């Protein structure tokens, strides 16, 4: 089926939803305010396919910026189902990837960015050492990195104009530290991830010709999860779309803004949606959650946004569990009692349909320990996972592993997708046809010879690294941090490591490849959905944290709301007896009155 036929067929599904259809029919700048489960990804991708076919003549294309690599991968999969292959005319990636590949690498020298020749992206250890040296320079001696790393990053991301009074008046020491840190990076011929959007914004502001160059390539800019992307992205949008002339199609939800500690500000999406030259479209219907969950979620949020469950939605159920004892004892009740009971109520469900969400990774340790003790498989997506779930390289290795574990027979995933994602990962060194064919040959030879789920994971990785990754990674500026992540993971699964018994078949996929429950922080669960959700550790000391100011308390409430609205059929709120979060009290009152 052609891409035009595919999106036209898919668009018929949008007609019955006034909001989705209005977004699909929009012609100028459009902001879609999309509540949980409102079908925003489907709307966005069908609209992208339409704009690419009807509004953007070849060879021009569309750039789509989203929050993280997992979001980007989902968008790519949705677009592929509509016959739109990312690459070439379509860019899909994070603000960091867009800044690096579309602005910094092509134009660093001619745009006067002041970067050293042969610069590359710092690894985490290189960034840490640069910060240590900067701290000694500014304070005259060592300090705890954890005390300064997050505030410094927040200051860099939120105060973009370093000539303004706010740059030094807010916290002069932070300004000094940022400048010293960046100088240490440059001395090592490095940039870090925070540098990427900042350098791109400055270059675009100082070089109008650069704005025109991007406009010539991408007349349409699509932004997903706008509320999470911060001041640099907002400044970029204002310049490219409302000065240079790109057309904007943005999707977001002020009520799901939960990354204030990284510099995200929901007010930016609000101000964008209120512009007179922007068509603002709300999506009201929730296709994910049952009726009772949608009704209770309005209480969870504390604001009535007029959301309602879509026609034909199931009832859904809300449970509150008041438990005594430590988290280990509470986790035992959850895993051995509440989980089996939920699955018994829904015989068609399995572990992959269940998630346990918590405010912080250390709380999840209790659940992981109990699950392991009773031999229930789980997938962790928090800071205590075996590797960062947002790593592009590790995501590709998961895909390679799935192909070797049966995908070569079933077509899930197809080798064409494994190859395409690999080529994008190593794109900096695969620009020529000969290099691209060499990569293709090495990859298929390596994977074809390792089609065995029982292989030791360390052996499989060693072979892939030696045959494919090492030969093509040296010239890739943005992969050094990813390679450090891979090296750390390989040490864990090596003989003598803590996970030496891991086999290829247990390599984490997207959560649907194996029958296991998902363990995740509330932050990491954003964008996901599960039939049954347990929110664990929802206590007064965790949500909101004691001493939170008004803005922090409001964000904690939005975080609670995000977790609450991951559930389709059942949401379980688990708290310590005598110490519930105030948010649970609101839900309990609603249930008592219903």
Taking residue 454's Cβ as centre, other Cβ atoms within 10 Å add up to: 8
35 annotated to a ligand binding site: yes
Q: Which two tokens stand for residue 232?
A: 């640099």
Q: Are 64 and 74 in contact (CB under 8 A)?
A: no
Q: Which of 77, 188, 47 is nearest to 128 (CA)?
A: 188
36 annotated to a ligand binding site: yes
Taking residue 54's Cβ as centre, other Cβ atoms within 10 Å add up to: 10
Q: Which of 149, 122, 151 is nearest to 134 (CA)?
A: 149
Sheet holding 354-358: strands in order across?
317-323, 567-576, 530-535, 354-358, 517-521, 378-380
DSSP assignment, residue 456? B
Q: Which of 265, 355, 336 is nearest to 564 (CA)?
A: 355
Q: Which two tokens stand for residue 350?
A: 């399995």
Q: If you compute the radius of gyration of the chain from its CA atoms, what whole number of angstroms results?
A: 24
83 annotated to a ligand binding site: no
Q: Which of 173, 169, 182, 170 is nearest to 139 (CA)?
A: 173
User: Distance between CA atoms of 101 and 477, rounded to whole angstroms?
Assistant: 10
40 annotated to a ligand binding site: yes
Q: Are 536 and 565 in contact (CB under 8 A)?
A: no
39 annotated to a ligand binding site: yes
Angle, in degrees to the nearest 10, between helices 392-402 and 69-81 = 50
Q: Which two tokens stand for residue 440?
A: 């293709």
38 annotated to a ligand binding site: yes
Q: Which of 58, 43, 49, 63 is nearest to 7 (CA)?
A: 49
41 annotated to a ligand binding site: yes
Phi-psi region of 547 (alpha: psi -120 to 50; beta: other; left: phi over 0): left
Q: How far is CA 64 from CA 92, 95, 577, in A?
A: 5, 9, 46
User: Distance between CA atoms of 63 and 217, rounded to whole angstroms?
Assistant: 9
User: Distance between CA atoms of 257 and 556, rounded to whole angstroms?
Assistant: 10
Residues annotated in a binding site for ATP: 34-41
Residues annotated in a binding site: 34-41
């Amino acid at each position: 089926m052609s891409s035009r036929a595919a999106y036209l067929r898919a668009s018929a599904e949008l007609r019955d939803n006034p909001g989705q259809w209005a977004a699909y029919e929009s012609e100028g700048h459009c902001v879609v305010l999309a509540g949980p489960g409102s079908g925003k990804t489907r709307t966005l991708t069908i609209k992208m396919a339409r704009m690419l076919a009807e509004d953007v003549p070849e060879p021009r294309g569309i750039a789509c910026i989203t929050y993280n690599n997992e979001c980007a991968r989902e968008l790519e999969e949705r677009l592929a189902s509509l016959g739109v292959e990312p690459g070439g005319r379509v860019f899909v990636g994070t603000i960091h990837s867009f800044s690096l590949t579309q602005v910094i690498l092509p134009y660093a020298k001619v745009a006067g960015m002041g970067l050293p020749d042969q610069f590359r992206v710092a690894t985490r250890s290189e960034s840490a050492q640069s910060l240590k040296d900067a701290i000694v320079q500014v304070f005259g001696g060592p300090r705890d990195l954890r005390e300064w790393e997050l505030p410094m990053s927040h200051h860099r991301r939120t105060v973009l104009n370093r000539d303004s009074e706010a740059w030094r008046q807010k916290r002069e020491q932070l300004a000094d530290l940022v400048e010293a840190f960046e100088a240490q990076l440059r001395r090592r011929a490095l940039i870090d991830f925070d540098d990427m959007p900042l350098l791109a914004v400055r270059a675009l502001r100082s070089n109008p010709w650069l704005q025109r160059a991007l406009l010539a390539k991408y007349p349409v800019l699509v932004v997903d999860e706008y509320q999470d992307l911060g001041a640099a992205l907002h400044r970029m949008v204002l310049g490219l779309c409302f000065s240079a002339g790109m057309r904007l199609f943005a999707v977001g939800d002020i009520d799901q803004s939960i990354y204030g500690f990284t510099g995200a500000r929901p007010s930016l999406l609000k101000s964008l949606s209120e512009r007179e030259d922007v068509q603002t479209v709300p999506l009201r219907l929730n296709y994910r959650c049952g009726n009772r969950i949608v009704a209770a979620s309005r209480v969870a949020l504390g604001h009535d946004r007029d959301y309602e469950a879509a026609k034909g939605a199931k009832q859904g159920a809300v449970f509150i569990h008041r438990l005594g004892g430590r988290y280990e004892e509470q986790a035992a009740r959850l895993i051995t009692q509440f989980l089996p009971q939920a699955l018994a109520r829904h015989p068609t469900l399995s572990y992959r349909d269940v998630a346990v969400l918590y405010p912080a990774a250390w709380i999840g340790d209790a659940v992981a320990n109990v699950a392991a003790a009773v031999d229930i498989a789980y997938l962790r997506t928090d800071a205590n996972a075996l590797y960062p779930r947002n790593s592009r390289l590790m995501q590709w290795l998961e895909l390679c592993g799935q192909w070797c574990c049966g995908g070569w027979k079933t077509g899930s995933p197809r080798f064409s997708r494994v190859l395409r994602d690999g080529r994008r990962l190593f794109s900096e060194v695969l620009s020529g046809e000969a290099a691209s064919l060499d990569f293709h040959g090495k990859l298929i030879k390596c994977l074809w010879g390792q089609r065995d789920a029982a292989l030791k994971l360390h052996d499989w990785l060693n072979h892939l690294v030696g045959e494919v990754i090492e030969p093509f990674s040296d010239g890739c500026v943005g992969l050094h941090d990813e390679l450090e992540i891979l090296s750390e993971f390989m040490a864990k699964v090596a003989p003598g490591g803590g996970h030496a018994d891991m086999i290829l078949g247990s390599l984490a996929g997207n959560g649907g490849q194996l029958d296991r429950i998902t363990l995740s922080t509330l932050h990491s669960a954003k964008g996901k959905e599960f039939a049954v959700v347990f929110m664990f550790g929802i206590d007064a000391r965790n949500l909101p944290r004691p001493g939170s100011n008004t803005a922090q308390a409001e964000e904690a409430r939005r975080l609670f709301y995000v977790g609450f609205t991951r559930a389709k059929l059942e949401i379980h709120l688990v708290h310590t007896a005598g110490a519930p979060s105030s948010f649970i009290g609101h839900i309990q009152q609603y249930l008592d009155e219903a």
